[in-house]
Amino acid sequence: MSVVTALAAAIGIVAVATGWAQRPGGGTVRPPTLEVQAPDLLARDAARVRNVETGRLLAVMRLVGLEDPGPPIRVTLVPESDPLAGHVPASVAGFARGGLDVILFPQRTPTYPAHSIDEVVQHEVAHVLIARAAGGPPVPRWFHEGVALAAERTWGFEQRADFAAGIAVGGAVPVSELDAMFAAGPGQVRRAYALSGAFVRDLLAVHGADLPARVLAGMRAGRSFDEAFTAAAGERVADASDAFWRRRRFWVIWLPWLTSPATLYSFMGLLALAAALRVRARRAEKRRQRELEELELVPPPALPVPPDAEAPPERRETIH
């Protein structure tokens, strides 16, 4: 994605956000309301969740085309002693159940893409809003995550590094394979987040910041995700995925080669050879320097005198 295209996408998102800040009738769009439920031993965590800033979720509402967040979203805090916690992987700090509610495990350490319990709440509530905007039909996981990431944070250094690392270890990934990666190990999950975020941001730049809203509106009208996407974007999801990777030929072709073991070993070998040649040159220079110093300390040899040569005239000095 060029700098001009990225800037245009950012301006478009800001413009959409500004337009959605006010309803057509002049009323302010309100963020969702959270209803927190927790046992007494998690009372302190419940108080923190109640104070989570929900204003950031307005960005999600703008992207997905929601003017009304709907009924309050129930957030249930579950301790590790609860049987439900034993059925959920320890790496999961929270999850959303469709457009209904959020289950949170506050005693667990948040994992990527969240870095705090506040971000876990905001991220999972974003999924509830996306599901509500779709009106019930299932939305692909990559679209869910990509839209949430596009709304809640900029494409910064960490996201670029994750995207680069994701390509370096496995190359291009068709969008049809992204959802399965979310069910794999931690490394694949992080990679799936990075690729989904990059793909959705590319879609916003190419098709406009209101693309998610148009896709989800089509789903509310009864279309499947693929049908709604094709109608909104003017191309199939698979074609959009292929175009995304074509625009990133450097990442797909050169980055895996540059980061391959063979390339790294070759580079280290060249560095070692260059270092050896430099040491050899320094030693040769020191030898030449010592030879010059020795030549200056030894007087030049006397020239032989031919036998028939005339003796030099004696120098006579007169003393007065």
65-85 pLDDT tens trace: 999 999 999 999 999 999 999
In this structure, what token pair is assigned to residue 223? Answer: 């279309």
Cα–Cα distance between 57 and 129 in angstroms, integer? Answer: 9
**CA terminus-to-terminus distance, the chain:** 102
Cα–Cα distance between 68 and 70 in angstroms, integer? Answer: 5
Q: Which residues of the chain have pLDDT under 70?
A: 1-27, 153-171, 248-270, 272, 293-320
In this structure, what token pair is assigned to residue 207? Answer: 């098709």
* pLDDT of 259: 45
* pLDDT of 155: 46
| Spatial strand order in the sheet of 101-104 | 34-37, 73-77, 101-104, 94-97
* pLDDT of 300: 62
Kindly state the DSSP code that residue 69 receives in the 8-state scheme.
-
Q: Is residue 252 packed enough to be buried (19+ CB in 10 Å), middle (13-18) or exposed (0-12)?
A: middle
How far out from the chain centre does Cα 22 lie? 32
* pLDDT of 305: 65
Indicate the residue type of 282: R
* pLDDT of 320: 55
Distance of CA 247 to CAs 137, 159, 211, 234, 237, Å?
31, 18, 19, 18, 16
Q: Are 107 and 66 in contact (CB under 8 A)?
A: no
SS3 content of the chain, % helix, strand, coil (to 5): 60, 5, 35
The residue whose two tokens read 């996408």 is 9
